[in-house]
Amino acid sequence: MKVIIAILNADDASTVIQNLMKSGYSVTKLSTTGGFLRAGNVTVLIGVDESQVQAVIDIIGNYSKSRKLVIPTTSEAGIYFYPSMPVEVVVGGATIFVLNTDRFEKV
Ligand code: 2BA
């Protein structure tokens, strides 16, 4: 048994979840926030047999797009913050972790 943790862009999340569920996978959705952009994203937990891991990753990959965002930055000098050059970051598709699970039970 494996647990897949996938961090999705909020704009892709419902399509990814719909397609996972259509393929028969159980999904738990968590509302999360990225530490760098401090913007909302969506984390999903999916428990599957080892043989299903790649199929789940393929579905997530097929429906997650990468996006370029331009974000403002500030520089700090003492107690003052000065606006400086905007920077471009590429966000996503999805960030995926696959974890081993010792035990899975529903009681
Ligand atoms: P955020 O932390 O808000 O990061 C959004 C995007 O900003 C990242 O996209 C990356 O392109 C950029 N970024 C993040 N940290 C940076 C840094 N220190 N310097 C420069 N640019 C930086 P993604 O890599 O696609 O990540 C999307 C979201 O996935 C992240 O949102 C975070 O919530 C999560 N994530 C990514 N890698 C992770 C990791 N190793 N562990 C835990 N969560 C992760």
Under the banding of pLDDT at 50, 70 and 90, the label for residue 86 is: confident
| C-alpha separations of 71 from 2, 34, 76, 80, 105 in Å | 36, 14, 16, 19, 44
Residue identifier of the C-alpha nearest atom 33 of ligand 1: 34
| C-alpha separations of 76 from 15, 35, 72, 80, 87 in Å | 40, 19, 13, 6, 16
Task: Give the distance (Å) from ligand 1 centre to CA of residue 91.
Answer: 7
Distance CA 98, CA 87 (A): 31
For 20-40, write each residue's pLDDT tens digit.
999 999 999 999 999 988 899
SS3 content of the chain, % helix, strand, coil (to 5): 25, 50, 25
Task: Give the distance (Å) from ligand 1 centre to CA of residue 34.
Answer: 7
- Provide the whole-model pTM: 0.88
